[in-house]
Amino acid sequence: MNGNIEIWGNGNNGVTAYEGTQHAEVDQTLFQEISGIGTGQEVSFEFAHRGRVGTDVINFSITDLGIG
C-alpha cells in the first residue's frame, strides 16, 4: 500500500477495530476542512490511533484560516 486509504473489516490481517466493525488503514496524510464554526465556539475531535506493528507516531493540528 502506498498513498492509499483502505477501509478494513474487523479482523482483516488480524487487526480489530477500536470500535464498531470497520477501520481505516492509512498510508498518507488525512485532512478535513470544516466550516460554520463561529467565534468562541467549542470544538472537539475524537479518534483512535495505533501502529500496525511497533511504535507509530501521529501529528494532529488545527489551523484557523481566518475565513469568515
**CB burial of residue 43 (10 Å; 0-12, 13-18, 19+):** exposed
Per-residue pLDDT tens for 7-48? 999 988 888 888 999 988 887 777 788 888 888 888 898 888
Bigger pLDDT: 54 vs 16:
16
Number of domains present in the structure of the chain = 1
The parent domain of residue 54 ranges over 1-68
Q: The whole model's pTM is what? A: 0.54
Residue 1 has a pLDDT of 45
C-alpha cell at position 37: 464554526
Reported as a pLDDT band with limits 50, 70 and 90, residue 54 is: confident
CA atoms of 67 and 36, how far apart (whole Å): 10
